[in-house]
Amino acid sequence: MDEIGQTEAAGNDLAKRRVPCLIAYLNPFRMVEAETLAPWNATIADINGQSWDYSALHEMAGGLEVGLNSPYHLVVTRDGALALPPIDQLRSDQSAVAFFNRCLAALLIGGVYCEAVTPDGLDLGSIIDWKYVRSHRYGLAASNRFHEQIRYGKASAIEAITLFRPRTIAFATLQNAMKSGLEVLNLLPTLQGEYLLKGGTGLARRDWGAALANLWIVTEQLVSGLWAREVVEPTLKDNPSTARRNQLNDTRTWTVSARLELLYQKGVIPAETFGALGKARKARNSLSHEGKHPSERDAYASYEGVRGLLSIALDGMRPALFDVDLADHSLSDPFAPPKRLEMQPEFWMEIPKLPGELELERAEAKSRILKRRSRHEEKPSPGSSPG
C-alpha cells in the first residue's frame, strides 16, 4: 500500500473511533446498571473531593432498538445519556426532539417514568471507540448542565450528592419498557407519543394547564383512530363512495364532541370514560377560549379519559403506564405537611448565613422558648381547682 493509501486507511480507522451523535438525557436522573459495567460506587469523600470516576459516567450500557434502519439504534450510557445518529431525518432540532420524545414516550408507556425533552435539552457529541459517549456542545436545559458538571468532575457537593447512592435502573428494564411501549405506539398510528409524554410530565410537575392541553391532543388523536375503526370502516363496507368517506371525515360536522357522543351511544366508550372526557373538554374549552386555569381535578379527569380511550383502542390491553404513579414523581407540594424523616441523617453541611440571619434565628429561637414557658405556666397544676 502506498503512502496515500496508508493515510486514507488511517483516516478511516480514526473515523470509526469517533462517531458523531445527538444526545438527550433521561430525566429524572438515574444511574443505568448493566452486566457489562462494574457497579457504581461513589463515597461521600469522592463527592466532597470531586474525585468520583467521571469517565465511568460516559460508559455505554448498551443499545435499544427504536425502529431505525439497521445498523442504527439508541445508545444508552451509565448516567442516562441517550445517543442517536445524526441521520438526515434527525438533522433539525424539532425532528430530533420529536424522535427522542417518541422513545421517551415508549419508555413511559412501558412503565418507566421519564419526562419530555425540549430543543434546549439536546447535546452534540460523539461515540468514542464504541465504549464512551462524549458531549462536545451541551444544551442549556437544567438536566444538560447537571450532566456537564458531573461528567467533567466539577459539580459542587450540593449537585454531586445525587451520585451518592443514586436511583438506579437496569438496562434490561429499559429494553423491556421500550419494546412494549413501541408496540403500543405502532398499534395506534394516530397517536403521537410526544403529547402523551408531555401530558404526563405536566401531571408530575403539577402544571395542570400543560397536562390538560397535551392530554386533550392525545384525546383527539385516539378518538380519531376509534372513529375510523368503529364508524368509518364499517360504514364504507356498505357504501365505499368517496362522497360518503368525505362526509364521515368532515371535522366540521363530526366534531370531537359529536364523535364522542356517537361512540358512547354505540357502546364503544363506557359511561365512566365518557363522563371524565366531558369534564376535561369543558375545562379545555375554558383554558383555550377564556384563559381559565384548570384544576388538578380537571387535569386528572383528562388523564382518566385518555386511559379509558387507550384501553378501548388496545382492545383491553393494559399498558404498564397504568401502574405508574405520576404524583409520586411530582415537585414538592408547598401546601402539603412535611414527610416524617424515616432515617437518621448520616452527613450534613453548614449552610452559609446571610447578613443578620444568625441574629434573626437566635431571636426566633428565644421567642419560641418564651412562648413554651408561658404556655406551661398557664396550665393549672395537678389537683388544683379553678379559682
Amino acid at 272: E
How many angstroms separate the CA atoms of 38 and 49, rounded? Answer: 22
Pull the grid cell for residue 138: 451541551
Pull the grid cell for residue 146: 447537571
| Model confidence pLDDT, tens digit, residues 50-107 | 999 999 999 999 999 999 988 899 999 999 999 999 999 999 999 999 999 999 999 9
Phi/psi for 378 (5° steps) reads: -75, -20
Q: What is the pLDDT of residue 125?
A: 93
Of 160, 171, 152, give the one whose Cα is nearest residue 80.
171
What are the residue boundaries of the structural domains of the chain, listed by start?
Answer: 15-187, 193-329
At residue 38 the predicted structure's pLDDT band, cuts being 50, 70 and 90, is very high
pLDDT at 233 over 80: yes
At residue 331 the predicted structure's pLDDT band, cuts being 50, 70 and 90, is very low
pLDDT at 328 over 50: yes
CA angle (238 as vertex; 232, 242 as ends), nearest 5: 60
At residue 248 the predicted structure's pLDDT band, cuts being 50, 70 and 90, is confident
Q: What is the pLDDT of residue 350?
A: 81
Q: What is the pLDDT of residue 11?
A: 61
pLDDT at 253 over 70: yes
Q: What is the pLDDT of residue 8?
A: 61
At residue 14 the predicted structure's pLDDT band, cuts being 50, 70 and 90, is confident
Q: What is the pLDDT of residue 353?
A: 86
Is 94 strand, coil or helix? helix
Q: What percent of the chain has pLDDT over 90?
A: 71
Asked if the peptide bond before residue 20 counts as cis, ω within 30 degrees of 0, the response is: no
Measured torsion, CA atoms of residues 324, 327, 331, 334, in degrees rounded to the nearest 10: -170
The alpha carbon of 86 is separated from its chain's Cα centroid by a whole number of angstroms, namely 23
At residue 219 the predicted structure's pLDDT band, cuts being 50, 70 and 90, is very high
Is 162 strand, coil or helix? helix
At residue 241 the predicted structure's pLDDT band, cuts being 50, 70 and 90, is confident
Least confident range from 83-92, 104-113, 177-186, 250-259: namely 250-259
Q: What is the pLDDT of residue 333?
A: 46
Q: What is the pLDDT of residue 2?
A: 63
Whole-number average pLDDT of the chain: 89
How many angstroms separate the CA atoms of 321 and 90, rounded? Answer: 27
pLDDT at 344 over 90: no
pLDDT at 49 over 80: yes
Q: What is the pLDDT of residue 385?
A: 55
Q: What is the pLDDT of residue 278?
A: 95
At residue 334 the predicted structure's pLDDT band, cuts being 50, 70 and 90, is very low
Edge-first strand order for the sheet with 81-84 is 60-64, 74-77, 81-84, 18-25, 123-128, 132-137
Q: What percent of the chain has pLDDT over 70?
A: 90
Q: What is the pLDDT of residue 381?
A: 60
Do the beta carbons of residue 40 and residue 54 sit within 8 Å?
no
| Model confidence pLDDT, tens digit, residues 118-170 | 999 999 999 999 999 999 999 999 999 999 999 999 999 999 999 999 999 99
